[in-house]
């Protein structure tokens, strides 16, 4: 089964920085293992939350007044272990292509075009689009629902063990909402 693995916003600011959590820090090694499990028929894509120095004046910044993921900063970058795993996965993959999608908001409609381009370039119909990353309750859910809406006949999967939210409660709420939207949530026990 071929899959496109979308690693959502696995960036220092969401792990160790101003929006980081212990749950996110505990999840990094699991994300690395997930990326390392990808085979030569799989493609790994990455989204990067990307803001400019005017963030606090933007629609998002007014409502979430925490400067984060300013392009080119330490917080915008991925941890070395994640970046190295993505490089390894793309070296193993039969398909050489750009794999980073910068996004200035929660969800990325450009990501849909990118996934379609991957299928066109590889001439393959991928069976699954799987998402992992941060934050479950903001960017993961936004992108998962956009993907579910755009690719109505594909399996869309979120591996809950490779995600973390702003809090355990909002993580759980987002997983429940995604499950209601016919997104397969795996590696999570709903109570």
Please count the structural domains in the chain: 1
Give pLDDT tens digits for 134-172: 999 999 999 999 999 999 989 999 999 999 999 999 999
In a domain, 128, yes or no: yes
Residue 63 lies inside a defined structural domain of this protein: no
Question: Does residue 141 lie in a domain region?
Answer: yes
Mean pLDDT calculated for residue range 79-96: 88
| Confidence label for 77 from pLDDT (cuts 50, 70 and 90) | very high
Residue 68 lies in a domain: no
Flag the least confident range among 16-25, 31-40, 121-130, 171-180: 121-130
| 139: in domain | yes
The pLDDT mean for the chain works out to: 93
**Residue 30 in domain:** yes
Could you list the residue range(s) of the whole structural domain that residue 100 is in? 3-49+79-186
Residue 59 lies in a domain: no
The pLDDT tens digits of the residues spanning 93-129 come to: 887 666 889 999 999 988 988 888 887 877 777 889 9
What DSSP line would sit under 16-49, residue for residue?
TSTT--HHHHHHHHHHHHHHHT--TT-EEEEEEE
Question: Which percentage of the chain shows pLDDT scores above 70?
Answer: 98
pLDDT at residue 91 in the model: 87
pLDDT at 97: 64
Query: Can you give the CATH number for the domain in which 17 is found?
Result: 3.40.50.850
69 domain residue, yes or no: no
């Amino acid at each position: 089964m071929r899959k496109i693995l979308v690693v959502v916003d696995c960036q220092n600011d969401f792990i160790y920085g101003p929006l980081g959590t212990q749950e996110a820090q505990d999840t990094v090694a699991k994300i690395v293992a997930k990326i390392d499990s990808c085979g030569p028929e799989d493609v790994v894509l990455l989204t990067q939350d990307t803001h400019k120095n005017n963030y606090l004046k933007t629609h998002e910044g007014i409502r979430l007044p925490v400067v984060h993921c300013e392009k080119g900063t330490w917080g915008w970058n991925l941890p070395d272990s994640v970046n190295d795993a993505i490089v390894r996965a793309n070296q193993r993959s039969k398909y050489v292509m750009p794999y980073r999608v910068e996004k200035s908001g929660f969800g990325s409609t450009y990501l849909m075009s990118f996934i379609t381009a991957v299928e066109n370039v590889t001439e393959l119909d991928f069976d699954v689009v799987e998402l992992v990353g941060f934050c479950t309750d903001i960017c993961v859910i936004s992108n998962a629902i956009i993907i579910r809406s755009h690719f109505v006949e594909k399996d869309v999967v979120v591996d809950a063990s490779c995600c973390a939210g702003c809090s355990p409660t909002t993580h759980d709420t987002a997983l429940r909402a995604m499950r209601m939207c016919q997104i397969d949530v795996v590696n999570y026990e709903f109570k």
